[in-house]
Structure formats: C-alpha cells, structure tokens
C-alpha cells in the first residue's frame, strides 16, 4: 500500500490503496469483481443521470448515521417515484454482505447508487425504465489524506449557483451532478481546488461537493439550508454546536463575511470537517490548516460517530 494522495488536492483525496483494485462490487444482487461490474448502456443512471445515491462510512463494523442516510435516500426515491422493492434493512444487509466479501470493517466508504433502471428505448420518459431499479454498491478502502488537515482547501467563488428548489432541488442527491461539476470546473479554471457556490440571491451557499461553514468571532455560521444538500454531517455539526453551547446560526451572509472569517470548513461524510485555507486567493484566518473551532468540532464529531456506532451495536446485540 502506498500512502500518497491520489489527486493533488480535493475534499475527497484518499490515501492510495492497492486493495481497491480487487474489490467486489454489489450489482443487482450479485457480488462481482470490479473489472466485471457493469450496468447496461440503457440504464437510466448512465443515460440521464436519473438515480439517487448515498455516501456512507464504515466505522468498526457499523455504517455511521445509517438511519439518517436512509431517511434522505428513501425521501428522495419517493419524491422521484423510483419504486425500490427493498427497505433500509435490505440495504443494510447488502452493504454488510459487500463489506464482508471485501474483508472490510473500518476505514471504508460506500457509494450506494439506485437508478430507475434499464430502459426499453434510449429516450427520456421514465416509463421506459420497465425492468426495475438498478442497485449498485461500491465500497472502497478509504482513509482521507492527512494533508487535508494541514493545508486546507482553496476555494474560488464561481458563476454557477445551486438554484431554486422548483428547478432541481439541491436536496436531491441525484446521479446528475452536472450543476456541481460545472462549478468545480469553473473553480479549477480559476486556479482553486473546489468551488464555493452562491445561492440565487448572492448569499454564500455551499461548495460543489460539501456543505460550507464559517467561524466568526466565536460563532459558527452556515447558509439557511434552502439551496444546498441537506447534508447529514452539516446537521450533526449544527446539533453538536447546540449541545455544546457553541453559538450557531443558519443564516444569509455574503462573501464580505466569508472573506473576513476566522476559520472556514467544509462538511461531508467522507472528510467529516475539512479546513478551508483560502477563498478567492484570500487567506482565511491565521491558521495554515484547521483552526481551534474546526479542531474542536472535529473532536466532538469523532465522539458522536463513536456513540452512534456503539448505539447500533447495542441495538443488534
């Protein structure tokens, strides 16, 4: 195993792990070697981005915050009328079966994907997906790169916004990530690692792949939540602040306040809390990487994950 980062710098940088070349992947009820794991070119996910996914992490044999992820997934599936003949327990079973087939109990990350399934004809109408949903679970050995904590992510604000809920609601964790990908490309073209996206009113909103927080004068701020992914990690950070008497606000704020923040960090299942080093070329705070509030919230989050894992173990004992 070599410990180099796979990419130069992004929120999903993981330590390289050769074992991922030989993983088994769940494809519609079968466990197949990565090289053999395939879906049809008629699949609605491939053809149209018509599917939903969840990213979850395995800690000590348990999928952290499993119920919260299932709540979001099944809400999304219902909202777009993908009729999955499975419930959360079936998902839990298939994830555990896949993890076991790969000898994984910790430091593993799943991308669980559910699409409307194979289509009878290569056209858009959802009714053409006549063969039932496609279910795929890719679980990789995954340890976030240590360099992220020391260096932080460089963000650039971009023209691409996450739009109003009546267009494509940002709460859908859909296969179609083109909106976010365009934002990421724009940020890269501006020389940054990732994109800071505004909302339709020009307030600071979210990044292309994570939720975004700033720390100002002892307070933790994030967007109202109206135009961003309802991140599980975002909600956990807000709950942790409330439980630990850390002032936290979900509010509109502008780049003026973001540039002048003492700290900024991203949240997501993969990286937990990832420090932001600069926005639009302006250094954030006086820390090279994570500042004291980010570190404190990271420690609290780690404890919360451990509590959730213990709770899940106890419930199954």
Tell me whether residue 128 or residue 214 sits nearer to ligand PLP (CB atom).
214
Residue 33 CB, nearest approach to ligand PLP (Å): 26
Query: Least distance from C-beta 290 to ligand PLP, angstroms?
Result: 18
Tokens coding 262: 């003492």
The candidate with the shortest Cα–Cα distance to 132, out of 194, 82, 95, 168, is: 82
Residue in 141, 56, 61, 62 with CA at minimum distance from that of residue 107: 141
> Residue 6 corresponds to which tokens in the numbers above?
């796979």
Of the ranges 43-51, 91-99, 245-253, 263-271, which one interacts with ligand PLP (CB under 6 A)? Answer: 263-271
Burial bucket for residue 187 (CB in 10 Å: 0-12, 13-18, 19+): buried
**Interface residues for ligand PLP in 176-205 (CB under 6 A)?**
180
Binding positions for ligand PLP, 224-243, rule CB under 6 A: 229, 231-234
Is 209 a binder of ligand PLP (CB under 6 A)?
yes
Only segment of 31-39, 79-87, 147-155, 208-216 that touches ligand PLP (CB under 6 A) = 208-216
Residue 160 vs 267, nearer CB to ligand PLP? 267
Choosing from 152, 268, 285, 291, the residue that interacts with ligand PLP (CB under 6 A) is 268
Residues 6+ apart with CB under 8 A from 193: 8, 9, 10, 11, 153, 154, 155, 187
CB of 180 to ligand PLP, least distance (A): 5
Residue 128 vs 228, nearer CB to ligand PLP: 228
Q: Which of residues 135-174 bind ligand PLP (CB under 6 A)?
A: 173
Minimum CB distance to ligand PLP, residue 204 (Å): 14
Q: Which of 111, 103, 102 is nearest to 31 (CA)?
A: 102
Q: Is 234 exposed, middle or buried (0-12, 13-18, 19+ CB in 10 A)?
A: buried
Site for ligand PLP in 55-74 (CB under 6 A): 55
Q: What is the DSSP string of 241-294?
A: HHHTT--EEE----HHHHHT-SEEEEEETTTEEEEEEEETTEEPTT-SS--HHH
Pairing mode, strands 263-268 and 30-33: unpaired
- Provide the minimum distance between the beta carbon of 233 and ligand PLP in the complex, in angstroms, as a whole number: 3
99 binding ligand PLP? (CB under 6 A): no
Q: Which residues sit at the interface with ligand PLP, rule CB under 6 A?
A: 55, 173, 180, 206, 209-211, 229, 231-234, 267-269
């Amino acid at each position: 195993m070599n410990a180099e980062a796979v990419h130069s710098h992004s929120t999903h940088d993981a330590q390289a792990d050769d074992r991922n070349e030989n993983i088994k992947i769940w494809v519609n009820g079968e466990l197949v070697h990565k090289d053999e794991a395939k879906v049809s070119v008629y699949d609605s996910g491939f053809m149209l981005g018509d599917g939903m996914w969840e990213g979850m992490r395995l800690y000590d044999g348990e999928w952290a915050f499993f119920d919260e992820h299932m709540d979001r997934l099944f809400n999304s599936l219902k909202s777009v009328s993908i009729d999955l003949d499975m419930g959360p327990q079936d998902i839990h079973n298939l994830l555990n079966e896949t993890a076991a087939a790969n000898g994984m109990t910790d430091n593993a990350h799943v991308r669980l994907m559910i699409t409307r399934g194979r289509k009878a004809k290569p056209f858009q109408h959802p009714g053409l997906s006549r063969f039932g949903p496609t279910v795929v679970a890719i679980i990789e050995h995954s340890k976030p790169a240590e360099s992220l904590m020391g260096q932080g992510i460089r963000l650039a604000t971009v023209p691409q916004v996450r739009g109003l809920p009546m267009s494509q609601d940002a709460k859908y964790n859909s296969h179609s990530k083109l909106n976010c990908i365009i934002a990421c490309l724009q940020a890269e073209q501006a020389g940054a690692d990732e994109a800071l996206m505004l909302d339709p009113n020009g307030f600071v909103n979210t990044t292309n792949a994570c939720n975004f927080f700033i720390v100002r004068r002892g307070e933790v701020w994030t967007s109202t939540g109206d135009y961003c992914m309802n991140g599980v990690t975002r909600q956990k950070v807000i709950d942790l602040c409330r439980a630990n008497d850390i002032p936290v606000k979900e509010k509109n704020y502008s780049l003026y306040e973001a540039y002048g923040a003492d700290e900024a960090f991203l949240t997501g299942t993969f990286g937990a809390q990832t420090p932001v080093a600069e926005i639009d070329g302006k250094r954030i705070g006086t820390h090279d990487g994570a500042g004291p509030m980010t570190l404190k919230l990271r420690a609290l989050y780690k404890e919360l994950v451990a509590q959730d894992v213990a709770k899940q173990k106890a419930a199954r004992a």
